[in-house]
Structure 1
Amino acid sequence: MRSRRHIATTWILASTLGALVTACAGVKPAQEVVSTAPAEEVTLRPVFNSALFEPLPAVPSAGELTNPSDRQSREFLSFYHAEERRNVDGHRRLRDYLERRLSGFDYRHDTLAVSEALELGQGNCMSLAAVTYGLTELVGLDIEFQLVNTPPVFDRDERTVVSSNHVRSRVFQPDYEPAKGHFPLQRPHIVIDYFPSRRGIGGRRINQDEFLAMFYRNLSAEALLNDDPSAAFAFALEALAHKEAYPDALNLLAILHRRAGDIRTAEAIYNYAVNQSGDRVDLLNNHINLLRAEQRHQEADILERRLAQLPDDNPFRWIELGEQARQQGAYAQALKWFSLAIERAPYLHEGYWRKAVVLAQMGQYQRSAAALSKASELAHRPNDQRKYMSKMQTLTEAGIQDRNPSP
C-alpha cells in the first residue's frame, strides 16, 4: 500500500533546471524574448502554440471520467434502493455504501476514472472524490467539494517539483426542510474525506466545474511527469475549458511551452496567469527560472524580490540554497539550509541525504551515517534506497570515526 502522503490534488510547482529548455525537432528556434510586461497590460490570454504538441490525443469527456460502468451502477443502485434502507437518508446510504465498497482500497498516487478506480480498487483521493461525485449523479444527491488547508506535500524527480494538497466532499441530505422558525446556516450534510488530517482546516468550497478542472489538471501533471507532452497539453486545455484562467493549468502550459523551446509563449502565459490570479510561488518561481536560463538576470532579480515577500513552504528552495553553499565550501551555512529544509519537510528524504553529504565533507562521519539511515528510511524510490544503503555501507566498512563528534 502506498504512503498516505500521496493525497488528493497535484500540480507542477517548478521546473528546477535551466537545462530543461529544449527545442523540438522541426520547431523554429525561439525568438528573442520580449521584456517582462507589467501585469496590468496582460489582459488577453495568449495564443497557445498547439503545433508544438500535435497530434493531440483524444481527451475523455467529463462523463467518461466520472460515470461508473453499467455493472457498477447496478450494484450501487441495488444497495441504495434496498428495502431495508428505505428509511435511511440518501446521503447516509451513500456513505454506508462507500464505507463497505472502499474498505479494501489501495490508495495510490494515480488519478483514475471512476470506473477504473472501482474496477482496480485503487487510486488517489481525487479519484475517490470523483467516485463520490459519480454516485451522487446516479441518485440526484447534491454534492460540493472543499479544499482542505493542510501543509502541502512536496516531491520531485530530476526535472520537476510536485506539490500536493487535499480535497474532500460534502454530500447533502436530500429533501431537507428546516423546521418552522429555524434558519440553519447550512443544510445537513456528511463530509466524506478519504485522508482526514488533524492538521487540516476546511478551506474554500469549489463547485463541480472547478473540481473537474482540478481532475484534468491532475491528468495533465501526470502526463508531464510521464514525458507525454501532447497528452499533458490536451488535458491542460480541457482544464481551462472547465475553469477559465485556471492558474494551475496555465502553469502547466507555460512549462510545456518552455520545454518545447517556445520561450516567448511561455513567458506570455506566466504574465497572463499572474495578471489573472495574482502573485503565486509556483508562477513566479517558474518565471524566474525561465529568465535565468535566458541570462536575463536583472528581470529575474525583480521577480525574486516579489517572490521573497510570499509565504513559501517549498523545502527544495532551501535545499538548493544549501547545495550552492556546499559547492562554495560554506559547510556550516549549507548545514543550516539543509536543516531548515528538514524542519519544513521532515518526510522528505533528500534533505537528510544532502545533510549527510555535507556532514561527511565536514568529517562528521557518524552523524553523516545517521542522516543517511534516515534518508533511506524515507525514500520510496528503489534507486534512492539503494544509493543511500550503499553510501552507509561505505562509511561502515571504512571504519572512520567522527573527527568532530557532536556534543
Structure 2
Amino acid sequence: MNHNSSLHSFGLWLCLALMLVLTGCQNAPRQTISNTTNSELFVDDQFGAATAAIETPEQIFAVPAEVVSELRQQVMLYGDPFDRSRALLRFIFNDGTDMLEYVNSATLIASDTLQKRQANCLSLTILAYSLADALGFDSRFQDVDVPEYWITRSGSSLLNGHVNLVVNPDSKFAGVGHIVYRRHSYLIDFDRVPSRTQLRTTEVGRNAIISMFYNNKAADAIVSKNYDLAYQYLKAAIRTAPELSGNWNNLAVLYRHKQLLAEAELVYLHSLALEPDHSNTMANLAMLYQLTGRYQQAADLEDKVAKKRLANPFYFVMLGNEAYERRDADVALRHFRQSLRLQPNTPEALFGMARVYLLKGDLTTASRYLQSAKKYVGPGPERRRYQSKLDLLNAIAKQV
C-alpha cells in the first residue's frame, strides 16, 4: 500500500535541492536500533509554534462508533472467516458508486479516509487496521522493500515507499479482489501487481506507522513552505520512532531549507549512523558538501549513490524530469530512454517522453507516448489524468 519536494531526499521528496522521504506510498525508512532521540539535534529556537494541531495517535486510528456498528452488522453476521474477510473488503473499498480512490498525497486519519473516500497506501493501512481491530481481528503492519521511486509535487521530487496490512483469519483461503490470501492471513493493499507481492517485507510496529504518518504530514508542510508546522510534525515523528533514519533525513532537509547548514549536516550524519546505506540521505549530504565547498567528499558520496541506482529505471525517470524542468530536451530523452531500456513500458518514463516531444513541438509523437502511458498505468486518477491530457493534445492538433 501506500506506504507517502525540493528536497533531495526527504523520505519523501527532493528536487535537485533536497529529497524528502515519504510513506504511504511514500517512503517507509528501514528500521534500525537506537535508544536515544538525540534531543540536542533539535533547534526549537529556530522555529515557531505549529499553525495546526498535531494529530494524536488516538485520533489517527479512531473510527466513529456508528461506523463500527455498521461494520459489525455487515461482517460479523458471517461465521466463516473467508466470508468475513470478503465482507470487510467490501466495506473498505465499497463496490458501489462511492469507491475508495487511491490518491498519493492523501495522508489522512482513518475517519477522514472514510469521509473523503480517498487514501494512499499509508492511509489505507491505517483504516484497514482500525476496522480490523474493531472486529477483534489480529493484524500486522508491513513495510515493503520497493525500489527507489520518485514522484513530483509542486516542483519537488518525493521519494515513495510502501506499506500494507496483513490480517489473520482462522483458515486458509484463495485470492480475491484486493486481497491476497495466504495460509492463515490475507493482505490488504492498493497495489495488486503480482511481482510486488514477491518483494521482501519487514514487519513494523504501530509506532512506526504513526511516525510515518507524521513524517508524511511534515513532507506536505515542507512542500507548502510551512516550516514551523513541518518541524513540529518531524519532532512528533522522531519522538514516536527515533530509530527510523528517514525521519532524521527529513529533519535535515528542513534545516537545509532554513539555511541551517551546520545543523543539517549533524542530522544527516545521525541518519546515516542509523542506516549507513540510505541512498537519499547520502545524496542530500553530498549536496550539502557541494554547497559548502567540500567537493571531493561530495563526489565520493555521489559515486556511491550512483552505483546503487544505475539499475533502477525510476532513477532515470527522476533525472529525466529534472532535465525537462531545465528545458534540456535531449538530455531528458536520453534519461527516459534509459529508463525504458531497464524496464519497458514504465508509465512514468512514457509520460516523460510525451512531455519532451510536446516541448519539441512534435504533437504526433507526444500523443503516441501519452497513449502508451495511459495503456500501462493502472485504473484510477492517473489514467484519467493521461486521458485529459490526450484530449487537450488532440484539441490542439486540430487547430494546427
Show the counterpart of 1:347. Answer: 348
Output the CA distance in 2 between the equivalents of 1:325 and 1:77: 54
Query: Is the CA contact 1:46–1:269 (under 8 Å) kept in the aligned structure 2?
Result: no
Alignment of 1:74-93 (within 5 A): 74-82=69-77, 85=78, 87-89=79-81, 93=84
Output the CA distance in 1 between the equivalents of 2:171 and 2:398: 68
Show the counterpart of 2:56. Answer: 61
Letter in 1 for 2:89: L
Query: Is the CA contact 1:14–1:286 (under 8 Å) kept in the aligned structure 2?
Result: no
Largest Rg, 1 or 2? 1
Shift of 1:46: 4.8
Specify which of 298, 301, 306 is matched with residue 299 of structure 2. Answer: 301
Query: Is the CA contact 1:292–1:300 (under 8 Å) kept in the aligned structure 2?
Result: yes
Output the CA distance in 2 between the equivalents of 1:298 and 1:392: 51
Alignment of 1:93-172 (within 5 A): 93-103=84-94, 104-109=99-104, 110-157=106-153, 159-172=155-168
Specify which of 366, 369, 394 is matched with residue 371 of structure 1. Answer: 366
Query: Is the CA contact 1:171–1:190 (under 8 Å) kept in the aligned structure 2?
Result: yes
Query: Is the CA contact 1:95–1:192 (under 8 Å) kept in the aligned structure 2?
Result: no
Show the counterpart of 1:72. Answer: 67
Show the counterpart of 1:319. Answer: 320
Paired residue total: 346
Which SS does the other structure have where 1:79 is aligned?
helix
Output the CA distance in 1 between the equivalents of 2:395 and 2:149: 27
Output the CA distance in 1 between the equivalents of 2:391 and 2:72: 51
Which SS does the other structure have where 1:309 is aligned?
helix
% same residue: 19
Distance 1:45 1:377, change over 3 A: farther
Distance 1:267 1:14, change over 3 A: farther
- The Cα offsets for residues 294-331 of structure 1, whole Å up to 9 and x where unpaired, read as 3332221121122133235422553278679996x9x5
Specify which of 256, 279, 282 is matched with residue 281 of structure 1. Answer: 279
Shift of 1:387: 12
Query: Is the CA contact 1:155–1:161 (under 8 Å) kept in the aligned structure 2?
Result: yes
Which SS does the other structure have where 1:265 is aligned?
helix
Output the CA distance in 1 between the equivalents of 2:272 and 2:18: 24
Query: Is the CA contact 1:92–1:190 (under 8 Å) kept in the aligned structure 2?
Result: no
Show the counterpart of 1:255. Answer: 253
Show the counterpart of 1:229. Answer: 227
Q: Under a length normalisation based on structure 1, what TM-score does the superposition of the two structures give?
A: 0.71
Letter in 1 for 2:14: S
Output the CA distance in 2 between the equivalents of 1:255 and 1:392: 42
Output the CA distance in 2 between the equivalents of 1:320 and 1:388: 22
Task: Give structure 1 stretches of 5+ with no counterpart.
Answer: 1-6, 21-42, 177-185, 398-407
Query: Is the CA contact 2:248–2:271 (under 8 Å) kept in the aligned structure 1?
Result: yes
Query: Is the CA contact 2:320–2:334 (under 8 Å) kept in the aligned structure 1?
Result: no
Backbone CA RMSD of aligned residues = 3.9
Which SS does the other structure have where 2:194 is aligned?
coil
Query: Is the CA contact 1:341–1:351 (under 8 Å) kept in the aligned structure 2?
Result: no
Distance 1:244 1:286, change over 3 A: same
Query: Is the CA contact 1:255–1:266 (under 8 Å) kept in the aligned structure 2?
Result: yes
Q: Under a length normalisation based on structure 2, what TM-score does the superposition of the two structures give?
A: 0.72
Show the counterpart of 1:35. Answer: none
Specify which of 203, 206, 224 is matched with residue 208 of structure 1. Answer: 206
Output the CA distance in 2 between the equivalents of 1:341 and 1:175: 43
Distance 1:131 1:268, change over 3 A: same
Task: Give structure 2 stretches of 5+ with no counterpart.
Answer: 5-9, 20-36, 173-181, 375-381
Shift of 1:335: 4.3
Output the CA distance in 1 between the equivalents of 2:256 and 2:64: 39
Show the counterpart of 1:400. Answer: none
